[in-house]
Structure 1
Amino acid sequence: MAIIPLNASPSQEITTTLSGAPCRIWLRQLSTGMYLDLWLNEQPLIMGAVCLTSVDLIRNPTSPLSGKLFFTDTQGNDDPYYTGVGNRFFLQYEVS
């Protein structure tokens, strides 16, 4: 399992490697929650997914990524909010 390093910022874009493939992640905090976009090899894979604690963001069984991408809350079961990202809320990738 890997923790994807994030900052406590209302909007951020990072590049990382998931299952050996280059990925770009854009996270943004809106009034209705935190949202994630994910590009795999510069092709959109997930657009506008609501980030909920312990819920897999990769819900498509035919996805080229075989793992699970999800947030964890180290202090309970709240959904992620940008001010807690990196110290309370962690984005994790678990290879299946």
Structure 2
Amino acid sequence: MLTISLEKKEQQSFGVNLGGQNCTVTLSQQDKGLFFSMYMNEKPIALNVLCLNDVKLVRYKYLGFIGDLFFNDSQGNDNPTYSELGDRFSLYYDGDA
């Protein structure tokens, strides 16, 4: 399992290699919560997925992405917010999911 470094920003986008897959991840804080989007080799894999605690973000193997990502609350069972990214809320990549 890999922990992905995040910044405490309402909007952020970054490139990351996940299990040999070139990905671009975008996180966006909205009124209803934190949203996740990801492209792999410029192909959309997940778009505007609401980030929930310990819930997979990609979910569907037919999309061609190996593994999955999820957020975890280290202090309870709340859903992630940008202001505590990297401290209370961590983003993980599980290549075996």
TM over 0.5: yes
- Deviation at 1:63? 2.6
In the TM superposition, 1:1-96 aligns within 5 A as: 1-96=1-96
| Equivalenced residues, count | 96
TM-score by length of 2: 0.95
- Deviation at 1:66? 2.2
- Deviation above 2 Å: which 4+ runs of structure 1? none
Give per-residue Cα distances to partners, 1:4-62, cap 9 Å, x unaligned. Answer: 11001100001101120110000000010000110000111110100001000011131
Gaps of at least 5 residues in structure 2 are none
Instruction: Tell me if the contact between 2:34 and 2:80 (Cα under 8 Å) persists in the aligned partners.
Output: yes
Structure 1: distance between partners of 2:85 and 2:19: 23
TM-score by length of 1: 0.96
Gaps of at least 5 residues in structure 1 are none
Question: Could you say what the CA RMSD is over the residues aligned between the two structures, in angstroms?
Answer: 0.8
Identity of aligned residues (%): 35
Amino acid at match of 2:91: L
